[in-house]
Every structure is written in structure tokens, then in C-alpha cells.
Amino acid sequence: MSSATVSLFGSFALAAVGAAGLAYTLTHPGVLAGFVERAKATSGLTQQASLGQTNGALTSTEEAPRRQSGVVTLPAGDYGHFQAEADINGRDIGVMVDTGASLVALTYEDARRAGISVMPSDFTHTAQTANGIARVAPVTIQRISIGDITVRNVAGVVSERGASERTLLGMSFLGRLSRVEMRGGTLVLQE
């Protein structure tokens, strides 16, 4: 087994663990809140220390602007899905945020638009999708940006032509952010 294959399997495993942890955290917010409270207590932080300071006035993070440097807030769309325009290798591509996807999964057509070319012989792996098992080509995406957030050298896959309808922004991107938080009908991403 080549070192590239071992590295790819390692990336898949790391992304799967990250997806499971994020899914658990999103479905059990009390666990994370308890952890944060214990961390504050052991580090001596007070409620005031957890609030932002602006011109001498304290403001809670709830009152912060919807768009800050390195922070993007996405409203839920149809059926509760979070969609965005991402800049992938310099091309605007519509994506759906999918915490259940281990990797960024590009449609064949979106990959071509982003300058990623794959040959039929590149479809060496399979992936479980909502529509069943699909053949995919592993790739490294040079750059993905959403708003002020940019992540470089992102592991991804390209699906066969016509096999998928939408590019999915999975955990290989989301797992590299410092914060991914669902709050009401919004998704907050922070670099």
C-alpha cells in the first residue's frame, strides 16, 4: 500500500471521527455548554470575561454583527439546509454544508469549473451517498473560501459525471474551522 493511499485512508478516518464528534456536539448542546462552564471555572474566567469589549462597553456575542472578520453566518434555507456560494479555486460554486459528509464532495461539473480535471482512471474509491454507493476520484482542492473564511489544501472527492446534483461542503473543510455552531435557524462558521 502506497504512502498516498495510507494518507488518504488516514484523512478519511480523521474526517469520520470529526464528523461523529461534531454531530454529537450539535445534537447534545448541553454537553458542550457543560464543558465550557467547567473550563471557565477551572481557568478563573468570569461571565464578564466571556463577553466582548468594545470602546469600554461590554456586548454579548449575541449582539455581535452577523458578519465579522473570519466569521460567516448562514441562514437555513429550504428544508433546513444551509447553502452558500463558495469560491473554489477562484470560481463561484454553490455548495450545501453537510456535516454528515466526511470530505468536500464536488460534482463532476463543479470540479471542472474549479479547474480540477479527473480522468476515468482516477475514480478509484467508492463513497456512501444518500443515493447509494458512488465511485469517486480523490483530489486536493487548493483553496475554498466562504466570505472571509479561507481554507487551503482541502481533501475532497469528485463524483462521476451526473452522479450528484450538488457540491457538498463536508468535514474536511468544516473540521479545519475553529467553530461550527448551529444557533436557531442559522449556522455560524468561524475561521
* Closest C-alpha to 73, from 131, 168, 147: 147
Backbone CA torsion sign across 77, 65, 104, 7: negative
The predicted pLDDT at position 6 comes to 42
The predicted pLDDT at position 70 comes to 87
The predicted pLDDT at position 108 comes to 95
For 35-80, how does the pLDDT look when each residue is reduced to its tens digit (9 = 90+)?
A: 334 333 333 333 322 223 333 333 333 333 344 678 999 999 888 8
pLDDT lower than 50: segments of the chain: 2-67
Asked if 14 and 97 count as a contact pair (C-beta separation under 8 A), the reply is no
Q: What is the mean pLDDT of the chain?
A: 74
Burial of 175 (0-12, 13-18, 19+ CB in 10 A): buried
Burial of 57 (0-12, 13-18, 19+ CB in 10 A): exposed
Which residues touch 122 (CB under 8 Å, ≥6 apart)?
137, 138, 158
The predicted pLDDT at position 132 comes to 83
Beta bridge partners, 145, equal 87, 150
Quick one: DSSP state of residue 160?
P
The predicted pLDDT at position 94 comes to 97
Beta bridge partners, 125, equal 136
**Amino acid residing at 48:** Q
All structural domains of the chain, each given as residue ranges with its CATH number in brackets, are 3-190 (2.40.70.10)
The predicted pLDDT at position 145 comes to 97
The predicted pLDDT at position 49 comes to 27
The predicted pLDDT at position 68 comes to 60
